Amino acid sequence: EPEPSTEGGELPVNILIREILIDGYQMVGEEKLAYSGEIRDVTDNQDYWNKPITMAIKGGMAEKSQLLIDGVFDQRDDILKSVLTMGLEQLSLNGVALSQNPALPLTLEQGIADIAANFSIEGDSLSGSVDGLVNQVKLLVANAAEGNPTMQRLASALEGVNQLVMDLNVKGSVNDPIIRLKSNLDRI
């Protein structure tokens, strides 16, 4: 094959990374969520290596399998086509700060989360959704605006919640997304 041209700032070589291994953790509140996986077939020239980039990650807390992420990033037709899915199952949450606003500092003291997310990009078009359910919820509002009866009533209502339900939808373009979030806390 002829060597690639260096005109227009192109590299005189083609780069292909067949496998990137991932091994790490993320603190979620007071718990460590460990994960591992791989990203495959990363290249700067899709014509050279006619495969999409793929990603697969698994993980969890305390050696339980609770996290699964899969992704495909395809630029073979000069238009980015990406699909990313994520699932969290029966993930124990402890001490997760939901709001650090001094007027109403809100912490998820405990809960068991099930979350499913999927996102896709085709060219500049973006779409996606996140459906979340957290059971066995205990919310804590620390020092809720002492002397402010409205904030104290809001704190009382939040502390009575035992389940969180969330529905998030994303549409539009990558540069101008339209995000809609509904939850059972909206009425509070």
The pTM (predicted TM-score) of the whole model is 0.79
Confidence of residue 65 (pLDDT cuts 50, 70, 90): confident
CA dihedral 96, 102, 104, 108 (to 10 degrees): 10
CB 185 within 8 A of CB 164: yes
pLDDT tens-digit map of 26-62: 998 888 999 999 999 998 877 778 899 999 999 999 8
Partners of 171 in the β-ladder: 178
pLDDT classification of 10: cutoffs 50, 70, 90 = low
Amino acid at 73: F
Contact (CB, 8 A) for 41 and 16: yes
Angle at 181 between CA 144 and CA 96, to 5 degrees: 45
HSE value, Cβ hemisphere, 13 Å, CA-based, for 186? 9
Reported as a pLDDT band with limits 50, 70 and 90, residue 103 is: confident
pLDDT tens per residue across span 112-130: 999 999 999 999 999 999 9
